[in-house]
Structure 1
Amino acid sequence: MDIRHLAPEQLSDRTSDRRTLASETVYEGYIWNVQRDEFELSEGADTLRRDYITHPGAVSVLVLNERDEVLLINQYRRPVGMTMWEIPAGLLDVHGEDPVAAAQRELAEEADLRAEQWNVLVDFHNSPGSSSEANRIFLARGLSDVPEDERHERDGEEAEIHGAWVPLDGAVQAVLDGRLNSPAAVVGLLAAHAARSGDFGSLRPPHTPWPGHPAFR
């Protein structure tokens, strides 16, 4: 393996145009599908075959109030059989919806909140070895309540959602203690903690391009 020294500004994930030989959907699910691709890493190399989840992507919202508290919501997650403390989030499953608009919608639907100030906090892939899911976390500040008559009626697992305001430092410690495991919450809390040291001045504007999401390249 070639190991080299890089300057921090040289670090960047990049799209790769590897040659696809065949592609098919082998399973169609309620929310996402499973795709099988055959491809080459280089011309004439052995053909590789991989199955992976094709996912519409998601947005999440790290909500920070004027008291340096973050909003966490508690929700049941069937695949892991746990109730988990998370940050508001949702799928990008509305065709053509802008990620910022989707984040604003999810914040209103899951937390009954609106925000005046939005920034991109961090982008990540949940499991790039097995899923195409890309997740963008926004930082939302300048909060106000959604009026009672405009609030979303939650159903399914969302009907059980309840929330809590927690000091950012305390929530980060819960991550480091292993008490919080939701990936968007873990990534978002650690990113917010790091960004706060520079008074959030390094954060990107809300409509910053998102090449990590296949649909927005």
Structure 2
Amino acid sequence: MTFAHETVSRAERYHGAIFSVYTDQVTMSDGSTAARDVVENRGAVVVVAVDDADRVVLIKQYRHPVGRHLWELPAGLRDVPGEDETLTAARELAEEVDLTAGRIDRLVDLHTSPGFADESVRVFLARDLAPVPDADRHERTAEEADIEVRRVPLDECVAMVFRGEITNAAAVAGVLAAARARDSGWTLLRTV
């Protein structure tokens, strides 16, 4: 039997441009009520870009909350109202690594921290890569100004995950899912 959990009340604790924080009073399965802190987030897209040589396009970017540079995949917030997620993925691929994709498929969907956040991340697989013309390239600023871009064989990316060199959760999921999808002959992909 499934119990209907209902939000009895909500108090806003913080409202920001990227996320907001609330404390909800929620009915529990035993009939009691408990406080649950919730982070509401716009969500994001992540792109596993695999070239014709079976290499993944990785970026190394500074992440202040963990105080270091992390190996990641091109990614971005769903911050353009009404924009299709596939277009968001293509935009982030172009902005962060100066590439376009002739083919984009859905790879996996993630709830990054469902114990306290509603953030959902859709990971796409991009193939048939081509460079963005020089005149159309995005000027990277702020934390993106020093992004390091590297193409790494997919199997080496998997090894980096297991060595603890790729720790960004969406990148870990994306790399492992891409390797499994490739090993299945790409039959596991969901078209967009």
Deviation at 1:101, TM superposition (A): 0.8
Following the alignment from structure 2 to structure 1, what is the Cα–Cα distance between the partners of residues 190 and 158? 22
Determine helix, strand or coil for the equivalent of 2:191: coil
Contact 2:55 2:154 survives alignment (8 Å): yes
1:144 to 2:130 alignment: yes
Q: Does 1:33 align with 2:20?
A: yes
User: Is contact 2:104–2:126 with CA below 8 Å preserved after alignment?
Assistant: yes
Contact 2:71 2:165 in 1 (8 A): no
Select 2:106's aligned residue among 115, 120, 131.
120
Q: Equivalent residue for 2:36?
A: 50
> What do residues 3-55 of structure 1 show as CA deviations (whole Å, max 9, x unaligned)?
xxxxxxxxxxxxx952111123211124211011111134x711011112110
What amino acid sits opposite 2:88 in the alignment?
A
C-alpha separation in 1, matches of 2:21 and 2:188: 37
Question: Which SS does the other structure have where 1:18 is aligned?
Answer: coil
CA RMSD of aligned residues (A): 1.3
**Match in the other structure for 1:213:** none
- Deviation per CA, 1:58-117: give whole Å up to 9, x if none: 000000011111000010000000101100000001111111111011001001100011
Secondary structure of the corresponding residue to residue 100 of structure 2: strand
SS at 1:127 equivalent = coil
1:204-215 maps to which residues of 2 (within 5 A)?
Answer: 204-206=190-192
Is the alpha carbon distance of 1:83 and 1:115 closer, same or farther for their aligned partners in structure 2, counting shifts above 3 Å? same
Return the letter of the residue paired with 1:37: D
State the TM-score, normalized to the length of structure 1.
Answer: 0.84
Q: TM-score, normalised by structure 2?
A: 0.95
**1:82 counterpart (64, 68, 80):** 68
Runs of 4+ in 1 over 6 A off after TM superposition: none
* Count of residues in correspondence between the two structures: 190
Whole-angstrom CA distance in 1 between matches of 2:113 and 2:146: 27
Distance 2:88 2:69 in 1: 24
Overall identity of the aligned pairs, in %: 46
Distance, in Å, in 1 between the alignment partners of 2:78 and 2:11 is: 22
Q: What are the ranges of 5 or more consecutive residues in structure 2 without an aligned counterpart?
A: none
Mapping of 1:60-71 within 5 angstroms?
A: 60-71=46-57
**Which segments of 5 or more consecutive residues in structure 1 lack a partner in the other structure?**
1-15, 207-217
Between the aligned partners of 2:51 and 2:94, the Cα distance in structure 1 is 15
